[in-house]
Structure 1
Amino acid sequence: MSWDALDAELAAVPGTVSVYAGRLGRRPGYTRLPDAPHYAASTMKVAVLAALHRAAETGEVKLGAAVPVVNEFESALPGAGRFSCAPDYDNDGAVWDRLGGTAPLGWLAERMIVRSSNLATNLVLGHVGLPAVAAVWAASGARHSRTDRGIEDFAARDAGLDNQVTAADLARLLGGIARSRLASPGACAGMLDVLLDQERSEDLVAGLPPGTRIAHKDGWVRGVRHGAGVVFPDDAPPYAVVVCTSAPPGGRSDPADDEERDERARRLVTRISAEVWAARHRLGTVG
């Protein structure tokens, strides 16, 4: 399929579909609405991971340090008090099993990525701080993305403090890790190893041949489905592929409708991943 044909197909999809596909360090081979803002969902966890490894590199934190596993966090909204995560809204019982005990900070960061644990995310974020995550976005060259709050900080969300990404910014962030631009080669290799160990195999992964190496993170909430990664083919240079999908505002709230819409979005991310893989030998020119 040509890029023009793909573009026409995506234009007919309800809501907003953003795509970035291109070799690292080069102009992209294909983009569609790359700077359109989307709610970040769990893709923001990549920036938190980078902030942690950068802090470890400077000695501010130690990845092996045992930290308390608690479920109470200070809201990003001044004066709003504290908030907690809901166990049934998480994807990783292993972290919850340690509630009331301790866990290594680096292990929490891994669970934040490979199983998308919300509790682990807030614990890591509490040790690095929101300014450190903002510094990661800035260092990556992101233009529109921001991380204003932790997961399930509803008081901050309702006050307008939210987490936002664009397809282009996620490609810059992941590309900066893969090309060792956000920290030392050793620190970036550590981040990349975590992303390569991702355990979830839907979205982008489902559009690739089995066994293809991909360092990635997906994200999903009601009306939102994203996949962002760097693919390492055996027969072509590495490339970034990011797909962000957001349903039209004001959609129906019936659970069956939500599930069907999410499944359509999941298939769409997979389909785009497969199209980009098929075009991996012609993804962009020197930038």
Structure 2
Amino acid sequence: MTETSQFALTRPAYVGQAHLIVNDLARVSDYYQKVIGLSVIEKQPSGEILGVNGQPLLTLSTSSNAERAPRNAAGLFHTAFLLPSRKDLAHWLAHIAHNNIQLDGASDHLVSEAIYLSDPEGNGIEVYRDRSPLEWTYQQDGTVEMNTLRLNLQELYNSAPKTLWEGAPEGTAIGHIHLQVGNIPQADEFYQDVLGLKIMARYPGASFFATGSYHHHVAANIWNSRGTQARRDNMTGLAGYSLRFNEKGALDSAVAALDRLGISTERQSDGIVLKDPWGIGLRLAA
């Protein structure tokens, strides 16, 4: 898949960027550059913006009072970086294998092939590629069949190009973001009824939401965080993320629902800013 045909990004709404608060800015930034292959777009003492080919994907911020979030806090389960093709995923796998980067796991989800790891401060990362939507199995209700099967890493590694890996390729994007929340019915209500995303799949303790029949743009689980309360602003981890709308009507519907329900929002020049029920920041923009 090329940048223009990445199915995840052509839907009515998709994830744009993520924003992490970290303690050690230099160390974490170095990891995302050397391991994930992002490059620095903007740099200040208190933060950096990283991305691919000038496209911002990840903001890292730090402050003297940043407090390390506990494992069960609301926030990030993982940021999922979507690569344009299976060849790109294999090339990246060869890169991390040659540099002895520790993995947390690897799975075939039927709709995608995914590799998991964590940055130096424990923020989860997924690097994946999508199979063609023509290969996905949709149920009568429009949900999509997903599973968690073993991914044959050796076979994937063997298929990698023998050329030098030169960083994340053009077209790399944040395909989805996976959150830790305190309550799944409340997450269903917020993402489905308020923001207008559709539930595409369920696992025990997790829901997967998307627009336009993608497998998921946002996921929420309670595997570590059942019953957790809203995160504090100075916690490390996921400060927020953005949802970008290709269709203005979908954005208008979400904003109308927020207004109708009395959910606090702030209109800014680059979008509508709010917090979800667990204090995770969210920016909606066309």
TM range (shorter): under 0.3
What's the TM-score once normalised by structure 1's chain length? 0.28
What's the TM-score once normalised by structure 2's chain length? 0.28
